[in-house]
Amino acid sequence: MLNQLPINKIIKGDCIEFLKNLPNNCIDLIITDPPYGDGVAYGWNNKTIQNNKDPLINCLALAECYRVLRKNSTLYNFTNWKHYPFLVEFVMKYTKFKIRHLVVWKKHNFGLGWAFRHQYELILVLEKGKPKYNLTNFSDVQTCSHINHNKINHPHEKPVDLIMKMIEHSSKKGSLILDPFCGSGSVCMACKKINRHYIGIDIDKKWVGVARGRLQLNSIGGKND
Ligand SMILES: C[S@@+](CC[C@H](N)C(=O)[O-])C[C@H]1O[C@@H](n2cnc3c(N)ncnc32)[C@H](O)[C@@H]1O
């Protein structure tokens, strides 16, 4: 089946539409960092995150994610404390995922904010069936530095090292990993480093270009190009 899928490509398009074209049960692991729906603006350096005011975008993608994910597999969903209650309620009421755990990503330094400066993010762990886990030292508090926001990078770029650990925990060499909201392609970078296949999707041509640049792909990324 692998050769019928757009593997090791970054697709430009709306993931909810794109996922409808993928067959059932074709993905071994999903790791994704959707817009949190909190409307935080990144006006400087002309950076924007599309759908960042829409708390439903993450939820709507989950239904398609469940269908394409292989049985006995995991989905890691980055989120924050504001979006978390809405997301969990949606998962419990409207999806077939089982909530397995909540991982806290603790950053070495605090970032933006005022009275309560941000030093952690959340990763909701969802299961389809009964997945296996490979590592015996995977804590539910992961400590890893955040990526500093500069003029060029994605304002929500996630650390490749942190993602590699999740990949190692929940997949094996040659597995196919999906990131439907891939931004600048950090999940795909992690896959490339440790010999997994990937499919990355992003709606914004700017971030698609950055992701393809990091992965050294040419611009032929998919049918929506
Ligand atoms: C939080 S960012 C992901 C950043 C990424 N983790 C990284 O390391 O660069 C979320 C991304 O979702 C994309 N996005 C928003 N709506 C989308 C949709 N319907 N389909 C695909 N991508 C979408 C945005 O363009 C944005 O780049």
How do residues 73-105 score in pLDDT, each as one tens digit? 999 999 999 999 999 999 999 999 999 999 999
CA of 190 to the centre of ligand 1 (A): 17
Spatial separation of the C-alpha atoms in residues 66 and 197, rounded to whole Å: 19
Determine whether the shortest distance from the Cβ of 186 to ligand 1 is under 6 A: yes
Q: Is the CB of 201 under 6 A from ligand 1?
A: yes
Ligand 1: distance of its center to the CA of 157 in Å?
Answer: 10
Nearest C-alpha to atom 17 of ligand 1 is from which residue? Answer: 203
Distance 183 CA to ligand 1 centre (A): 4
Residue 223, pLDDT above cutoff 90:
no
Q: Is 35 in the pocket of ligand 1 (CB under 6 A)?
A: yes
The pLDDT, as a whole number, for residue 224 is 44
C-beta of residue 36 within 8 angstroms of C-beta of residue 225? no
Separation between Cα atoms, residue 143 and residue 186, nearest integer Å: 17
- Tallying the residues shown for the chain, one arrives at 225
DSSP string over 103-149: EEEE-SS--S-SSS---EEEEEEEEES------S---SEEE-PPPPP
Report how far ligand 1's centroid is from the alpha carbon of 158 (Å).
Answer: 12
Which three-class secondary structure state does DSSP give residue 82? coil
N-terminal to C-terminal alpha carbon distance within the chain: 23
Full-model pTM: 0.94
Which atom of ligand 1 is closest in space to residue 48's alpha carbon? 25
Amino acid letter for position 75: L
Q: List, in order of start, the domains of the chain with CATH numbers.
A: 2-215 (3.40.50.150)
Residue 174 tokens read as 């040659």
Q: Which two tokens stand for residue 33?
A: 């960092």
Q: What is the pLDDT of residues 175-220, one digit of tens each?
A: 999 999 999 999 999 999 999 999 999 999 999 999 999 999 865 4
Q: Tokens 């970054």, residue?
A: 10
